[in-house]
Structures are given as C-alpha cells and as structure tokens.
C-alpha cells in the first residue's frame, strides 16, 4: 500500500466497527474449547467449571463481562448499539449466567435475551438452556425463583468453581467474600429454593483470570479481523502522522528534531500505556526515532525515548556534525501486539539519468552504502520469518537470516564489510500477547501469538574515511504464523505452514531529498520538459496519479507524475525526485489492459542492468522489470491512449515498440503486481468504509486472503488433517479424491432422533416406498444395551454385512442394476458424531472403505423436545449439528406449518445449523419426491462444505478422537423381558398417568419413553408399544404376522427362548426393580386370601338382609309379632327378631365356611409372576 506521498492511502483512525450479527460457528466453538481446556489441564487444583455472571447479579463484574464478550464476540461491549435498539432495560438484557464445564455449557437467560444469544451459542456442544417461556416469565416472582433454582442446578455437580474475577489490565486481589456478596450468590443461601447453605462454604472458589487472559491472547480469525480493521488502522494512522511531519516540512526538514519527528509515536504510546493500567516498561518494546550517527547501539538499547532530545536535528546528526543520511524509526502499539521498525533515508539512492554516465556524488555514497545494507537486512528478516513459519525455531531462523544478510552484502559488492559487521548483527523473534507483553517463545501459549522479527546492524563504520560511525540500521515486522499438521498416506505427520506480515503496509523504504546537490540533480532531469528535443525524445503527454511498482519486497506503489516521451519516460515524486528511463535502458515494453476500461492499464518495462545506478534501491530486482500503473478515469489514462499508444506501438527507429499482451502471457509476478494495484484502484473507488479497508488491505497484503483460509483451519486445533482433504479445507478444491469408486460402496443413510421421534416410521415408509429401487438393509440399535448406541456392535454388524455380501458370489450379479444401501435407524440420546466415528475407526480398513455415509437425517417430534421450560432433552441440538446433519424431518405438526412450537424449533435448529433442510413428514410419511431424494442423497455427507465444517467443528473426528461428551441429565435405558400378557386397561392407565408424576430437576425417577413388544390378555396378537411421556402419546400397533427378524440383543440369555416380550424404559436415574414393580401393576394381579368374617365386620345392609330372610322364624315363648314389631310378655317392643344374635352367628358360620373353601381353592391354584420363566 502506498502512503501517497506515503500517507494518503493510510486510513484515518477508525470509529467503532459494528460486529456482524454473529461470527462463524467454527471460531465460536474453538473459543469455547479454549476456555474448556483450562478445566482439563493436568493440575490437581483445576476447577470443575468456570462461572460467568453478568449484570447486577455479579455487581457488574468486569472479569465476567470480559469472558462473556470473548465467547459472544463483543455482544456485551459498552459500545454495542444492538441491545440499545431493542428498547429493553439493561438489567433484562444482562440477565445471563454461564457455567462452562469441561464438556458442556449451562446457560441461564430469559425469553427476552434468548433470541439475541441464540445465533452466538446454538452451535455449542452439549448446551443446556435454563430459560422460561414467555408466558412463565410474566410472573416476576416465579421468574426470580426460577433463576435461583437454575443457578443451584447448574453448579450442583461441581466442587471447585473458577471465577473470572479481574479483567485484563485491572488485576484485583481475589476475595471470595466479595463474590459471596453478589446478589445471585447471596440468594443461593435462601431456604426452600436455594442450595442449602452459603455458596462459598459449599464450593471452593478460585480466580482463573490469569489463565483466561492467556486464552484471550490466542489469535483466531475473528481477533485477527478485529486487529486488521481496528488496531492496525490506528497503528497505520500513526505512521501517516509521522510522514506528514516530513512531507509538510520538506523545505525545513533539516531543522526537524528527533523529538518533533517522533511526537506521533510518543503520544500514541504514552497515552495508550496510561489507559492500559500496565506498568511494565520493556525497553525493547518502546518507540524511537533516531537520526544519523545518533542511532548507536547504546542509544537504541537505552530506552531513552521517554526523554527525547530537542538538540538532535537532521542537519547535525551526521558524521562530524554534518547532515544525517538516515534515521531509524520504531512504532509500538501500547495496548496491542503490533510493532515495526524501519530505516529511512535523507538523500537519493540513485542518480537521475541525464543522457550520459553521471559521476557518483560523495554525498550519496553514505546513503548508497546504508541503503544497500538496509536492503540486505530487509531480505534477511523476511527470510528469517519464512524459516520460522516452517520450523517454529528461532535459532534456525536466526541462522538463515544472517546467511541471507551476508549473501546479499556479497551480491552488492560489500564483502569487505562482512567481517566488520558480523559481530554487530542482532536478530531476534519475540512473541507478544494482545496487550503488548513479551511472552517467551518456548512457552506453549506463544504458538498462537503475534510475533515480531527484528534485525539490527549496529554502529556501521564509514568505509570512505575509516573513521567514525554512520549509526545503525534496523528493520522489524509483526507477523502471524499458521501451521496445520497434515497426515500423509503412510501415516506420517508433516506441517503445512503459512505466514502473513501484518505490518507490510507500512512503507519499508522512504527517502527525502534534503541536500542541495540531490535537489539540483532532480531539477536538472526535469529540464527536459522545457526542451523540444532531449535524450528522452519529444514530450508526448504527462499527468499525475500514476503509480510505479516493483516486485522488490521493499517497494510499495509510489504515486507521482509521469511524462511520456517518444524515447522514454520521466517519473517524479517528492520522495525519490526524478527517475528518468530512456528506451536505451529498456529491453521490452508491453501493455496489459484487460480489454476493459475498468481494468488498470499496466506498462511492464523490462530494463537493462545499465539502469540500476539510475533507479532507487527499492526498485532493484533480480528479474529487472518495473510496472507503470495507469488508473482508468484519470486524465493520464485517456492521454496515454490518445497520444502515446499508437506512437510507441508504431515506433521503429529505436528498435523498441510497444506490444499489447493478454493475461495468459503475463508471468506470475506480473499478475500479482497487477492484481495488487487493481485492488488499490477498486479501493479508491470507495470513499471510505469496511469494503474500502478490505481492498486496501488486500492490495497491501496480497497473501492475506489465503492466509486467513489457512489460519481458519489451523487455529481450531492441532489435530492432524488428511492430506487428501487439505485442498477442500483451504477452499482450493471442490472435490475429494477417493481410492475406491463410490459405485462399489454401500451407501449408509442414517436416520436418528430422540426417543419418540418416529424414526422407525420414517424407515418403514422409505423401505416400502423404494423397495424396487435397490437392495436394502436396516440396522437398528440393540434394545437391551445400557447405552443408546454401541460402536462395537455397529462395527461387528458392518463386518458381518460385508462378509455376507462377498459370499453372495454369482448371485450378486442379479442385483447389479440396483444400488446397495444400509439404513441405520437410531432412536435415543445418541450423538451423531459417535456413529460417524464408529465407521471411521473400524479396525478393518476394507470394511471402512466399503461403506460411505450418504446423508444424516434427524427426526424431530416437536412435542418431545423440551424436558421443562426451554431445557432441551440431551443431545437434541447435537443431533442437528452443522457438518453432520443434512436434513431435519419434522414428524408432527406438518399440517400446521405456522404452529408456534414448530416455528420456534425451526429457528433454534437453523441457528445451530444454517444449511440444514427442513422436511415435513407427518407420522414419518414423506409427501414430496424431492424430500425423499434429500433423505436418500448419496453424497450430501461428503459434500466439501460439510467435510470442511466437520474438521472445523469436531477436531480429530476423522481418526475418532473427538469426544462427544456425556448425556446430561444422565439417561438410563433399561430393557425388561417377560413372558406373560399384560392387562391392556391397566397398562394404558399407567402410561397416561406418567406425565402427571414427572418431577422437576434433577428429574430423578422420571420415565420419558417406553417402547417394545407385548401381548395383552384380551387378544392373541403381539402388539408393538411406543409411549412418549412429553407428548403423552401411546401407540399400540399389532405386529404383522410372518417370519420375525433375528434377535439383535448383544448378550442373549439362556431364558430368551421363554421370555417372548420386552419393554425398554428410558428416563433419569431409573432402577430395574422399580421398573419391574411398575410393570407388575399392569399385569393380571394375584388374588388375595379373604379374611374370616366377624360380628364387627357385618355391615348394616348384611344385618338387614339376615333379618329379612329369617324374621318369620318361630318365636321363643313369651313373644308375639304384632305385624310391625316384636313384643314380649312385659309389652317391650323390638325391631329385630328376638333370636337375631343366633341368626347372625349362623350367617357368619356359613360365610366363613365359604371363605375357607375359597382360600383352600386359591392355595391350590398356580400363580406365575410376570417375570417368572415359563416351564
């Protein structure tokens, strides 16, 4: 990038750049893993989780806010206007608690900020939302109680909790009693809804601020983007101000002091250090501006820039008090990692060609010497950076840099200086964190930090007089490396490296004409403009706004005035003075303009060695060519075509004519140079803004785009990637080479989902619908396994399937026209990545290479997604993951596409996987052919974008080394086998009652799903049962008659032949005995023995019945019946027969005989428990 006269193209200081809605999920997940790595360090005292509380609940703790901004990409920055526009109060938007555990994240939020957070967090692995619905949130008291109970639930399994107590630059002494005063932590001690005691007494708290700061300093694509668009812009602006000091004072440069020249750097650094609250002053990281002989080793290392000298002027800091011939400059970012140093010159490094050989002036000898040494230093540093990027070894980089330096000195004829300078060379590479603090290179934290490579050549002697010291030459650049570990076919690991120089836009070479002799020579060259005929021929046209470019890494496009003559050109700018190039010094001239008036017209001039003394040092190149860039829409562009083009093209007297070339005939270096100025032209067409900045950056750092693609992969993980996949990851190819033709492979279609998702229904539909299209095999998970998915069982199945296919022999030809397909149907809390890795890690390479995953489809029953509130069932979002899942099939609410629940779930899934396709299939029945094609796609999973997403989201997946994390809350799968029929009414009643018995967190004993095959006592058919508690749906479908498939149980028992029926219960903390007791209540109950009756057990009705039956029995002597009552001899009246006691005794005797008979018969009957084996 040119700084017109070196400065106009550097941008002004930036205003806050708005963050895109949400950065890519790859960086987000990578940042989360970086934080989680703190919890997995091999230390006895590492915490179980890191707790981040925002807003009033942590008394606005800055450390917590800093962590949230790291994870949420500045969402909670004070200058973020997104929240302000919502109109909600700050305390509602800040209402967030994050608990980060080694393999999961718990997030409390409210329905208001939920939608704002979703794009930032939905792709996090094993994410658990603690959030109320909108209706529930309306009750303020209930909402507060829910927050407290959620906080208690989140930390329940922890014993040591890390607190991000301090933010960077504001280290505070950790005080757990201050944490105890945080409102939400105080509420933890509330009786009834709290955690039963004081938080700080129940948990061990520790400060993790320092570990977090190290993590924040690790560069990733988003922090690199922030650096380029914010920090680097401010950094470059200081150089703009620096150049302005010289460009505006050109007539008075001699009177400039080091203090005046360095004021922009000094103010930038000192003011930044004050606001950074960092007191560490490292001399090697301080800015400086030193002129001429004052740039000695002692002054460079003294760190005295805080007290700059007003007495050291350009005119008195040369040898013996003469004019300085150069200056050394360093700018340092006070609160960031950027720094770079340069050596610039007072005087011309060339003699303008005036038509004959000019003698070298003594005044330029020192400038030429210093510029040649500086040129060698620049090449040496760039070579050292390249070596370090490949080897990550400073000693090797230093060795290469010194070799290159000495080699270039030989090339330019300064071999006599080598011995004198050998001991005065200092090369070093420093790693710097994002606050500008130096970190040792051998520290593992330094791998992802920005580094500065610098070389100084101290105290250069004056070759002419042999006395005195010319001063020193310095050069440094800030750079970032990227290294991907690549696994070759033979299993070996080799690194693939890239690097980018972040400060490349700062001009590496600049000079000002300060000596009268230099100015006069430049003016003399311009006299040809007044002559009718000169050594350059006749003047044709001229104008400003022209750029001269070189492939030399020191050179940036220099803007100035260009005059075309019949036999040459004359270029002028304030820094170089006049550069005259006669056609006698040219080998060829070619023009490339892309046949378009929107393409920069480029004149490529191949020149002879005789031009080198008349060309500034930074334009010297081995391939000896220059490029003159004419921007469209400028006057000089139009004038060239109207007044120069035909003249030069038809010119024959000099033997050199202009030829027009097409793009394919340009060399790679010419293409690179033209691309760079084309981007510069495009950037200048924008007045300002982010797009303008992007184009300018791309022009100044052409390798940036490719580096970012590489860095995006390398910053995610150090896990190796396959060599064949690397071009796809770097977005350089859209095809993935495969050793085995896909037609020879069995295509696996995976259908998965939570229990109750109807994946089996979808499978049955697909098999029935497409049975004529190919050979189908179906794999279902084992029912009596304690885990939802068994990798070893799946691998054995694949091996057996392949062996069976190979044994088909000749019969296989009959199926040649049909595709081979395996449907893998899973229903449970299975993480899809586990299924993929089970195939990837198959112990038999032949089996692994014989199968290919076509597409992964996830079935979703909207009513069966939430455990309570907005807490999703385990692995729900992970079953919709980007890079794995191509389609989400909604198996209910298909006819109600605007149903609020369906819309909300689609929004949630879309945030987690933006590229997923939604398919509506009520009860598993797909109604559109295109949807069936999506489900059965043969290459969706191996799509390059999917492949790239897998590598970036699940590092190590290809070798099966990605840990999916546990199911939480822990789900138990219990399979119960039995041999007796159930009572249908009792079973249905018990199933329907489960939902009302569900308990809140921690959900112990909750049954969420029942499935299996049973027989009811009122029918002979076997019934397939599927009950889902959340949806409160019960399906009872008769099993079709016919041969049954072989039992898939992994551990067949001796009793399996007698036990015909089974039920699988899925839920939290279930116990087999409790499940059996529950199931026994649905079977025919064993009759109970009847107890013998006693007088006290007789009911009034029984007594009345006895009286009715026997009230006409004979009366004893002295009693008579008057028609309504019984009367004795004395006239006493009674309602009951006088012998009623005897009648009741007779009744009891007879009833007890019946009871005893019943009990005897009951004891003689045989009763079988539901789980008793048939004999």
pLDDT in tens, 484-502: 999 998 889 999 999 999 9
Other CB atoms within a 10 A radius of the CB of residue 773 amount to: 12
Place 1167 in a pLDDT band, splitting at 50, 70 and 90.
Answer: low
Distance CA 49, CA 42 (A): 15
Place 360 in a pLDDT band, splitting at 50, 70 and 90.
Answer: very low
User: Strands 204-207 and 160-163, how do they pair?
Assistant: parallel
What confidence score (pLDDT) does residue 941 get? 94
Mean pLDDT of 7-20: 41
Place 278 in a pLDDT band, splitting at 50, 70 and 90.
Answer: low
Give me the percent of the chain exceeding a pLDDT of 70.
Answer: 88
Query: Within a 13 Å sphere around the CA of 721, how many CA atoms are in the beta-carbon half?
Result: 28
Query: What is the rounded (10 degree) CA torsion for 829, 831, 835, 837?
Result: -150
Place 363 in a pLDDT band, splitting at 50, 70 and 90.
Answer: very low
Place 286 in a pLDDT band, splitting at 50, 70 and 90.
Answer: confident
Task: Identify whether the C-beta of residue 1050 lies closer than 8 Å to the C-beta of residue 782.
Answer: yes
Those residues whose C-beta lies under 8 Å from the C-beta of residue 904, and which sit 6 or more positions away, are: none
Q: Which two tokens stand for residue 744?
A: 């020879």
Task: Identify whether the C-beta of residue 1022 lies closer than 8 Å to the C-beta of residue 1014.
Answer: yes
Consecutive H or E run containing 363:
helix 362-391
Place 66 in a pLDDT band, splitting at 50, 70 and 90.
Answer: very high
Distance CA 558, CA 572 (A): 10
Tell me the CA distances in angstroms from 179 to 36, 76, 164, 185, 196, one per residue in order.
Answer: 22, 21, 11, 7, 17
* pLDDT tens, position by position, 1103-1131: 888 888 887 788 888 778 777 888 887 77
Place 361 in a pLDDT band, splitting at 50, 70 and 90.
Answer: very low
Smallest CA-to-CA distance from 352 within 103, 577, 59, 194 is with: 577
* Residue where the block lists tokens 């490529």: 604
Give me the percent of the chain exceeding a pLDDT of 90.
Answer: 45
Place 819 in a pLDDT band, splitting at 50, 70 and 90.
Answer: low
Smallest CA-to-CA distance from 261 within 147, 344, 180 is with: 344
Residue 387 has pLDDT above 90, yes or no: yes
Those residues whose C-beta lies under 8 Å from the C-beta of residue 815, and which sit 6 or more positions away, are: 775
What confidence score (pLDDT) does residue 349 get? 85
* CA–CA–CA angle 663, 668, 671 (5° rounding): 50
Residue 707 has pLDDT above 90, yes or no: yes
More confident of the two residues 487 and 303: 487
User: Strands 851-860 and 746-753, how do they pair?
Assistant: parallel
* Residue where the block lists tokens 């907005």: 870
Smallest CA-to-CA distance from 14 within 274, 236, 344, 320 is with: 236
Mean pLDDT of 1037-1047: 62
Residue 1054 has pLDDT above 50, yes or no: no
More confident of the two residues 820 and 121: 121
Place 950 in a pLDDT band, splitting at 50, 70 and 90.
Answer: very high
Find which of 871-885, 1053-1067, 1113-1127 is predicted with most confidence, using mean pLDDT.
871-885
What confidence score (pLDDT) does residue 19 get? 46
Mean pLDDT of 576-581: 91
Place 283 in a pLDDT band, splitting at 50, 70 and 90.
Answer: very low
What confidence score (pLDDT) does residue 58 get? 94
Consecutive H or E run containing 851:
strand 851-860
Peptide bond into 731 cis (omega under 30): no
Q: SS3 for 811?
A: helix
What confidence score (pLDDT) does residue 1017 get? 85
Residue 7 has pLDDT above 50, yes or no: no
Query: Within a 13 Å sphere around the CA of 881, how many CA atoms are in the beta-carbon half?
Result: 27
Place 742 in a pLDDT band, splitting at 50, 70 and 90.
Answer: low
Task: Identify whether the C-beta of residue 551 lies closer than 8 Å to the C-beta of residue 626.
Answer: no
Task: Identify whether the C-beta of residue 1126 lies closer than 8 Å to the C-beta of residue 1134.
Answer: yes
More confident of the two residues 18 and 509: 509
Residue 1141 has pLDDT above 90, yes or no: no
pTM score of the predicted model: 0.86
Other CB atoms within a 10 A radius of the CB of residue 494 amount to: 11
Burial 134-163 (b: 16+ CB within 10 A, else e): eeebeeeeeeebbbbbbbbbbbeebeebbb
Range scoring the smallest mean pLDDT among 140-154, 755-769, 1094-1108: 1094-1108
Query: Within a 13 Å sphere around the CA of 431, how many CA atoms are in the beta-carbon half?
Result: 22
Find which of 21-30, 341-350, 771-780 is predicted with most confidence, using mean pLDDT.
341-350
What confidence score (pLDDT) does residue 882 get? 94
Distance CA 538, CA 535 (A): 9
Q: Could you tell me how many residues make up the chain? A: 1175
Q: SS3 for 1067?
A: strand
Place 335 in a pLDDT band, splitting at 50, 70 and 90.
Answer: confident
Other CB atoms within a 10 A radius of the CB of residue 111 amount to: 18
Give me the chain's average pLDDT, please. Answer: 85
Query: Within a 13 Å sphere around the CA of 708, how many CA atoms are in the beta-carbon half?
Result: 17
Question: What beta strand segments (E) does 1016-1047 contain?
Answer: 1022-1028, 1033-1038
What confidence score (pLDDT) does residue 127 get? 96
Burial class (CB in 10 A: 0-12, 13-18, 19+), 526: middle
Smallest CA-to-CA distance from 766 within 839, 818, 821, 836 is with: 821
Q: SS3 for 175?
A: coil
Task: Identify whether the C-beta of residue 532 lies closer than 8 Å to the C-beta of residue 566.
Answer: no
* CA–CA–CA angle 135, 136, 140 (5° rounding): 110
Residue 631 has pLDDT above 90, yes or no: yes
Distance CA 552, CA 547 (A): 15
Q: How many Å separate Cα 905 from the centre of its chain? A: 23
* pLDDT tens, position by position, 960-977: 999 988 898 999 889 888
Q: Which two tokens stand for residue 974?
A: 């219990």
Range scoring the smallest mean pLDDT among 271-280, 459-468, 984-993, 1110-1119: 271-280
What confidence score (pLDDT) does residue 15 get? 42
What confidence score (pLDDT) does residue 205 get? 94
What confidence score (pLDDT) does residue 153 get? 92
* Residue where the block lists tokens 């004419």: 630
Mean pLDDT of 586-600: 90
More confident of the two residues 622 and 374: 374
Place 1046 in a pLDDT band, splitting at 50, 70 and 90.
Answer: very low
Smallest CA-to-CA distance from 705 within 658, 672, 738, 681 is with: 672
What confidence score (pLDDT) does residue 1124 get? 80
Burial class (CB in 10 A: 0-12, 13-18, 19+), 442: exposed
Residue 1049 has pLDDT above 50, yes or no: no
What confidence score (pLDDT) does residue 1041 get? 66
Mean pLDDT of 683-691: 75
Residue 282 has pLDDT above 60, yes or no: no
Q: SS3 for 172?
A: coil
Burial 794-820 (b: 16+ CB within 10 A, else e): bbebbbebbeebeeeeeeeeeeeeebb
Instruction: Find the DSSP H helices in 860-943.
Output: 900-912, 929-935
What confidence score (pLDDT) does residue 10 get? 39
Distance CA 979, CA 752 (A): 30
State residue 41 phi and psi, 5-degree precision: -65, 150
Mean pLDDT of 238-242: 92
Q: How many Å separate Cα 867 from the centre of its chain? A: 28
Place 913 in a pLDDT band, splitting at 50, 70 and 90.
Answer: very high
Range scoring the smallest mean pLDDT among 5-9, 12-16, 103-107, 1043-1047: 5-9
* pLDDT tens, position by position, 388-443: 999 999 999 999 999 999 999 888 878 778 888 888 999 999 999 888 888 888 87
Taking phi first (over 0 means left), then psi (-120 to 50 degrees means alpha), and beta for anything else, what does residue 773 get?
A: alpha
Distance CA 477, CA 453 (A): 6
Q: SS3 for 99?
A: strand
Distance CA 505, CA 227 (A): 14
* Residue where the block lists tokens 């989902």: 753
Those residues whose C-beta lies under 8 Å from the C-beta of residue 504, and which sit 6 or more positions away, are: 477, 700, 701
Those residues whose C-beta lies under 8 Å from the C-beta of residue 141, and which sit 6 or more positions away, are: none
Mean pLDDT of 813-837: 79
Mean pLDDT of 706-713: 93
């Amino acid at each position: 990038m040119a700084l017109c006269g070196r400065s106009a193209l550097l941008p002004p200081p930036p205003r806050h750049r708005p963050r895109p809605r949400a950065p890519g999920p790859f960086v987000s997940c990578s940042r989360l893993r970086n934080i989680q790595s703190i919890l997995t360090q091999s230390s006895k005292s590492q915490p179980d989780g890191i707790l981040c509380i925002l807003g009033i609940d942590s008394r606005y703790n800055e450390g917590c806010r800093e962590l949230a901004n790291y994870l949420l990409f500045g969402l909670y920055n004070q200058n973020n206007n997104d929240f302000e526009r919502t109109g909600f109060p700050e305390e509602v938007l800040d209402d967030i608690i994050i608990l980060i555990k080694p393999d999961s994240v718990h997030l409390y939020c409210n329905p208001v900020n939920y939608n704002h957070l979703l794009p930032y967090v939905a792709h996090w692995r094993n994410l658990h939302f603690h959030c109320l619905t909108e209706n529930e949130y309306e009750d303020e008291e209930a909402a507060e109680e829910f927050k407290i109970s959620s906080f208690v639930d989140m930390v329940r399994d922890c014993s040591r909790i890390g607190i991000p107590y301090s933010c960077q630059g504001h280290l505070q002494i950790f005080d757990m009693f201050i944490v105890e005063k945080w409102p939400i932590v105080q509420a933890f001690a509330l009786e009834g809804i709290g955690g039963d005691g004081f938080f700080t007494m129940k948990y061990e708290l520790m400060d993790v601020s320092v570990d977090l700061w190290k993590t924040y300093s690790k560069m990733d694509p988003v922090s690199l983007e922030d650096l380029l668009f914010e920090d680097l812009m401010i950094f470059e602006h200081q150089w703009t101000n620096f150049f302005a000091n010289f460009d505006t004072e050109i007539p008075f440069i001699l009177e400039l002091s080091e203090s005046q020249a360095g004021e922009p750097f000094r103010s930038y650094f000192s003011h930044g250090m004050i606001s950074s609250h960092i007191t560490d002053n490292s001399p090697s990281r301080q800015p400086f501006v030193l002129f001429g002989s004052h740039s000695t080793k002692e002054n460079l290392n003294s760190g005295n820039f805080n007290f700059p000298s007003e007495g050291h002027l350009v005119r008195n800091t040369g040898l013996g008090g003469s004019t300085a011939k150069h200056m050394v400059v360093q700018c340092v970012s006070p609160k960031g990692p950027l720094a770079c140093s340069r050596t610039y010159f007072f005087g011309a490094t060339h003699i303008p060609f005036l038509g004959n050989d000019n003698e070298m002036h003594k005044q330029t000898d020192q400038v030429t010497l210093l510029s040649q040494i500086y040129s060698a230093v620049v090449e040496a540093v760039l070579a050292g950076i390249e070596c370090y990027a490949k080897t990550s070894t400073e000693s090797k980089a230093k060795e290469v840099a010194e070799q290159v330096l000495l080699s270039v000195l030989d090339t330019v004829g300064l071999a006599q200086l080598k011995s004198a300078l050998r001991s005065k060379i200092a090369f070093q590479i420093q790693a710097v964190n994002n606050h500008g603090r130096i970190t040792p290179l051998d520290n593992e934290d330094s791998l992802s930090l920005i580094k500065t490579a610098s070389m100084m050549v101290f105290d250069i002697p004056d070759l002419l007089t042999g006395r005195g010291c010319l001063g020193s030459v310095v050069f440094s650049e800030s750079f970032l490396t990227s290294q991907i570990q690549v696994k070759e076919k033979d299993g070996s690991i080799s690194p693939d490296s890239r690097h980018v120089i972040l400060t490349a836009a700062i001009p590496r070479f600049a000079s000002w004409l300060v000596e009268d002799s230099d100015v006069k020579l430049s003016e003399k060259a311009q006299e040809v403009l007044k002559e009718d005929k000169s050594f350059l021929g006749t003047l044709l046209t001229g104008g400003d706004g022209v750029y001269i470019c070189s492939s030399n890494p020191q050179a940036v496009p220099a803007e100035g005035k260009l005059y075309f003559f019949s036999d040459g050109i004359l270029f002028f700018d304030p820094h170089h003075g006049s550069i005259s190039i006669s056609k006698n010094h040219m080998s060829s001239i070619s023009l490339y303009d892309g046949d378009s008036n929107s393409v920069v017209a480029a004149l490529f001039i191949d020149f002879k060695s005789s031009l080198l003394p008349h060309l500034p040092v930074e334009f010297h190149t081995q391939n000896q060519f220059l490029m003159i860039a004419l921007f469209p829409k400028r006057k000089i562009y139009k004038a060239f075509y109207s007044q120069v083009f035909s003249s030069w093209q038809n010119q024959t007297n000099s033997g050199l004519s202009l030829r027009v070339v097409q793009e394919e005939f340009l060399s790679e270096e010419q293409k690179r140079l033209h691309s760079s100025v084309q981007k510069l032209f495009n950037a200048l067409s924008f007045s300002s803004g982010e797009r303008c900045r992007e184009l300018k950056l791309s022009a100044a750092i052409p390798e940036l785009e490719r580096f970012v693609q590489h860095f995006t992969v390398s910053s995610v993980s150090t896990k190796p990637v396959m060599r064949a996949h690397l071009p796809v990851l770097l977005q350089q190819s859209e095809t993935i080479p495969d050793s085995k033709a896909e037609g020879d492979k069995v295509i696996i279609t995976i259908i998965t989902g939570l229990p109750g998702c109807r994946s089996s229904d979808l499978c049955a539909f697909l098999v029935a619908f497409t049975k004529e299209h190919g050979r189908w095999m179906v794999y279902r998970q084992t029912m009596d396994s304690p885990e939802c998915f068994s990798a070893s069982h799946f691998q054995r199945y694949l091996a057996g399937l392949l062996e069976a296919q190979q044994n088909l022999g000749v019969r296989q030809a009959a199926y040649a026209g049909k595709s081979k397909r395996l449907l893998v149907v899973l229903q449970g809390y299975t993480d899809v990545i586990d299924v993929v890795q089970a195939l990837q890690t198959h112990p038999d390479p032949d089996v692994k290479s014989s199968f290919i995953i076509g597409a992964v489809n996830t079935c979703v029953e909207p009513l069966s997604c939430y455990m309570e509130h907005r807490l999703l069932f385990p692995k729900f979002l992970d079953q919709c993951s980007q890079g794995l899942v191509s389609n989400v099939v909604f198996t209910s609410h298909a006819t109600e596409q605007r149903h609020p629940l369906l819309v909300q779930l689609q929004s949630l899934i879309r945030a987690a996987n933006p590229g997923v396709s939604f398919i509506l299939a009520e009860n598993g029945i797909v109604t559109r052919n295109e949807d069936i094609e999506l489900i059965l796609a043969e290459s969706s999973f191996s799509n390059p974008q999917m492949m790239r997403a897998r590598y970036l989201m699940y590092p190590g997946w290809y070798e099966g080394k990605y840990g999916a994390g546990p199911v939480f809350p822990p789900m138990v799968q219990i399979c119960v086998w039995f041999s007796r029929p159930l009572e249908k009414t009792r079973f249905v009643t018990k199933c329907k009652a489960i939902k009302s018995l569900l308990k809140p967190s921690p959900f112990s004993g909750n049954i969420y799903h029942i499935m299996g095959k049973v027989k009811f006592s009122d029918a002979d058919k076997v019934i397939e049962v599927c009950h889902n508690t959340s949806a409160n749906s019960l399906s009872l479908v008769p099993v079709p008659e016919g041969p049954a498939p072989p039992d898939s149980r992994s551990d067949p028992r001796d009793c399996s032949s007698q036990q015909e029926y089974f039920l699988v219960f899925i839920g939290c903390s279930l116990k087999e005995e409790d499940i059996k007791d529950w199931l026994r209540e649905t079977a025919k109950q064993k009759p109970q023995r009847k107890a013998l009756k006693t007088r006290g057990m007789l009911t009034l009705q029984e007594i009345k019945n006895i009286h009715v039956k026997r009230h006409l029995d004979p009366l004893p002597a002295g009693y008579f019946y008057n028609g309504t009552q019984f009367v004795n001899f004395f006239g006493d009246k009674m309602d009951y027969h006088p012998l009623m006691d005897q009648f009741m005794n007779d009744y009891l005797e007879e009833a007890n005989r019946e009871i005893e008979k019943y009990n005897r018969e009951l004891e003689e009957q045989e009763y079988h428990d539901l789980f008793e084996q048939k004999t």
